[in-house]
Amino acid sequence: MNKPRIFSGIQPSGNLHIGNYLGAIKNWVKLQDQYDSIFCVVDMHAITVPQDPAELRRRTIEVAKVYLASGIDPKKSTLFIQSHISEHAELAWILNTIAKIPELEKMTQFKDKAQKAGKESASVGLFDYPILMASDILLYDTELVPVGKDQLQHIELTRTLAERFNKKFGKTFIIPKAFTTKESENIMGLDDPTKKMSKSASSEYNYIALTDDEETVRRKIKKAVTDSGSEIVYNDSKPALKNLINIYSLLSEISPKEIENKYVGKKYSDFKNALAEVIINYLTPFQKKMAKLTDEKVLEILEEGAKRVRPLAQKKLREVKKKIGFVA
């Protein structure tokens, strides 16, 4: 029997951080054994905000290197670059015609990003972004989409569009489900535990980048905000500490309870020093693996991936075109 499919992607649009790893990639690595897995570098999504062309090219390859160095195995999973498969844009156009403007207007990611860009200069692409994401997911008969919490609203819209299309034109799309894990779905900013850790944060003290060196990790963790009091406890009344304990727990596979026990009677500074070491112990071998991957090797894997997914995308798009009445 065929394995059910998962699909997910990351934009090559800024410094990837441990939130991206813990919220998304770490789950992909686990799921790739049970699922037919497709992981995409979504460069077409990245250009919904201005990008420097040379940087975009460099980051696109870098994101693929992050996937591989994190443990995505190209023998088990398929990796490709979104813009290599033009069917994504074609299906997005078709889905545009069944989506409603208010459905996009209420997307919180759009509202946040449009506000940052200044409403007058936000692109139409930024507005339409969730439709392209729906197209990514629906093209491949995806059943499960492993993401962080910030993407749940987009997946809800994807489900709505798939249901609407199926109702209008007959069963065509699988209705996908999101996959998240409670402790990792929303890693918060180190400088502000009320906002998520973000690639586009204005301060580098918001995040630990996957490329940060030891000294930087220690400096950032030292500066990370903490709550009042001094006890190392894991609960909602100490959101900053809860976030740091989550990061510690997810990277070391020790439960929050065990971490609490380990630091009874110790100070925030003891815990923070240990957390910095836990992060460094994860990042050092990861970065070594990344450094070993050549651009040529990675491009080869991405081209191989595009070759594998192209027939799937073509088949689904052909079916869609036929259903809506395009002359074949």
**Residue 45 amino acid letter:** H
Give every CB contact of residue 270 below 8 A, 6+ residues apart in sequence.
263
112/231 with CB nearer ligand TYM: 112
Cα three-residue angle 268-272-274, rounded to 5 degrees: 120
Token pair, residue 262, equals 């380990």
Distance of closest approach, residue 327 Cβ to ligand TYM, in angstroms? 30
Closest to 146 in 3D by CA, of 280, 28, 284: 28
Active-site entry in 65, 113, 220, 272: 113
Token pair, residue 296, equals 């040529």
Q: If you count them, how many residues does the chain have? A: 328
Distance of closest approach, residue 230 Cβ to ligand TYM, in angstroms? 27
23 belongs to the binding site for ligand TYM (CB under 6 A): yes
197/245 with CB nearer ligand TYM: 197
83/186 with CB nearer ligand TYM: 186
Q: Round to whole Å and give the CA distance between 276 and 221.
A: 6
Closest to 16 in 3D by CA, of 200, 184, 151, 150: 200
- Binding-site residue total for ligand TYM (CB under 6 A)? 25
Closest to 142 in 3D by CA, of 176, 170, 165, 172: 176
Rule CB under 6 A: choose which of 29, 35, 38, 45 binds ligand TYM: 45
Closest to 6 in 3D by CA, of 186, 180, 251: 180
32/186 with CB nearer ligand TYM: 186
148 belongs to the binding site for ligand TYM (CB under 6 A): yes
242 belongs to the binding site for ligand TYM (CB under 6 A): no
Q: Of the listed pieces 9-17, 53-61, 239-247, 261-269, which binds ligand TYM according to CB under 6 A?
A: 9-17
Rule CB under 6 A: choose which of 5, 196, 238, 272 binds ligand TYM: 196
Q: Round to whole Å and give the CA distance between 204 and 214.
A: 15
Contacting ligand TYM within 98-137 (CB under 6 A): 133, 136-137
Q: List the strands of the sheet with 177-179, edge to edge.
A: 77-81, 36-41, 5-10, 144-146, 177-179
Active-site entry in 76, 106, 149, 199: 199
150 belongs to the binding site for ligand TYM (CB under 6 A): yes
145 belongs to the binding site for ligand TYM (CB under 6 A): yes
What is the separation of C-alpha 228 from the centre of its chain, rounded to a whole number of angstroms?
32
Q: Round to whole Å and give the CA distance between 198 and 155.
A: 19
197 belongs to the binding site for ligand TYM (CB under 6 A): yes
Which DSSP letter does residue 120 get? Answer: G
Whether 113 is catalytic is: yes
70 belongs to the binding site for ligand TYM (CB under 6 A): no
Distance of closest approach, residue 69 Cβ to ligand TYM, in angstroms? 16
Active site residues: 113, 196, 199
> Which residues lie near ligand TYM (CB under 6 A)?
7-11, 19-20, 23-24, 42, 45, 133, 136-137, 145, 147-148, 150-151, 154, 185-187, 196-197
